[in-house]
A = this chain, B = another copy of it.
Amino acid sequence: MIRAAMDLFDERGFEQTTAGDIAERAGVTERTFFRHFADKREVLFDGSKTMECTAHDAILAAPAGHSPLDAALAGMVAAGELLEDRREHAVRRSRIVAANPSLQERELLKLAGVVEVTAEALRIRGVSEPSAALAGHSAVTVFQVAFTRWVSAQQPLALTDCIAENAAALRALK
């Protein structure tokens, strides 16, 4: 169904595609579609839970000596590695999302979720407020900016490297 949805979104756009259309192409009924996805948008955000967990675990696994920001960034790198070998798919998906505000909303909500688990993981590491929240936000910011650059790059480059570069640029801010 995910593949059916992405194909249709590519062909006619998100708004012009009805939930029934997706279901039909996937060979099921509309009702079944909504049993698998809470709403029509969710079909594009399947892996977000996995990303959250990956980041969370990576932050807890980071060396004890890491600063809050470094630990949080380790989480972003780990999450980024999930995408590294699926750039094709990520580019396609991000183009669809960029074309529709309601999908951007959902993307932002998912990212806010990542900020939350990141901050939570930092708190478990003993980081207190407001540093945990700020570091969580900052790490996700770096991820976001790096991701944008990664998907819009002409020649392929490593997302991990983008993250490192933007992390350095963030620290360089006065």
A residues contacting B by CB (< 8 A) are 67-70, 101, 104-106, 108-109, 111-112, 130-131, 133-135, 137-138, 141-142, 144-145, 148-149, 165-166, 169-170, 172-174
Contact = CB atoms under 8 A, between A and B. Distances in A.
Copies of this protein chain in the complex: 2
Given A101-B109, A134-B145, A137-B145, 8 more contacts: A69-B174, A104-B112, A105-B108, A130-B165, A134-B166, A135-B173, A138-B138, A138-B170
Contacts of A130: 145, 149, 165-166, 169
A162 to B, nearest CB: 9
Contacts of A142: 134
A68 B170 CA distance: 11
Contacts of A165: 130
Contacts of A69: 173-174
Contacts of A137: 137, 141, 144-145
Contacts of A133: 145, 148
Task: Find the residue from A106, A111, A133, A134 having the highest chain B CB count within 10 A.
Answer: A134
A134 B78 CA distance: 21
